Structure 1
């Protein structure tokens, strides 16, 4: 055990978060997501929600403040403007960890394509539909 690191973040995920560089992306996906065929390395967090994974990851990883979209969810098919409850939770978690940053969205197949280029995928046991989010890693400023 280590101090101040959420126990949800095991050694494999900690290694990935530390190895990622500025601008690299990590996807947190739900239990229905086709992660195995996407390509990037997968860390499984079965039995945990995507919101718990997001909260734990954002305790350690800064989001990129050089871009307009640091956190991106998948749009609801057939209703791009609809916000599912899990998306509202994502937004609240992001705002708590990263002041002024918000969740944006991407069309389903564009989201799949973007995940294929991610540094890694965290497959959760999230059962709520659209429990998927891509995070772009930022930097730690010298004054932080």
Structure 2
């Protein structure tokens, strides 16, 4: 056990998150998402919801805010205006950790391409349809050395 680390962050997921670089993406997908077994990094968290995994990941992952979008979710039922409850949950979580972060809606095929190209794919036990999100990693800024006394 570690102090201060969200319990959903498994050793495999922590390793993947720590290995990611700036502007790498992480896909958090639902249980129905077709995940290629040849993808290099797949982490399974079958007992957790996608929103819970997103919340856990955002406790340690800086979100990219210097691009038009920080995260992406699918457009549901070919209706860009349709807001499913899980979309509201994703948006609220992104805003709570990155107030300038933007959750963009993209066509399902674009979402699948983004997820497939992600540095890591986390397959959850989420059973709600369209229950996936892709997050882009931002940067961790250096501390202000004028006030940092750890040197």
With normalisation by structure 1, the TM-score equals 0.94
**Which of these two proteins has the greater Rg computed from alpha carbons?**
2
Counterpart contact for 2:64–2:101, Cα < 8 Å: no
Q: Give the structure 2 partner of residue 29 of structure 1.
A: 29
Within-5 A mapping of 1:82-93: 82-93=82-93
The alpha carbon displacement at 1:139 in A equals: 0.4
Q: Give the structure 1 partner of residue 147 of structure 2.
A: none
Change (3 A) 1:38 1:134: farther
The alpha carbon displacement at 1:49 in A equals: 0.2
Counterpart contact for 1:38–1:116, Cα < 8 Å: no
**Structure 1 residues 61-93: Cα deviation after superposition (integer angstroms, max 9, x where no partner):** 001122111111011132122111000001111
How large is the RMSD of aligned CA atoms in angstroms? Answer: 1.4
Report how many aligned residue pairs link the two structures.
144
Name structure 2 gaps, 5 residues minimum.
145-151
Q: Give the structure 1 partner of residue 12 of structure 2.
A: 12
The alpha carbon displacement at 1:40 in A equals: 4.3
Secondary structure of 2:36 counterpart: helix
Counterpart contact for 2:30–2:129, Cα < 8 Å: yes
With normalisation by structure 2, the TM-score equals 0.90
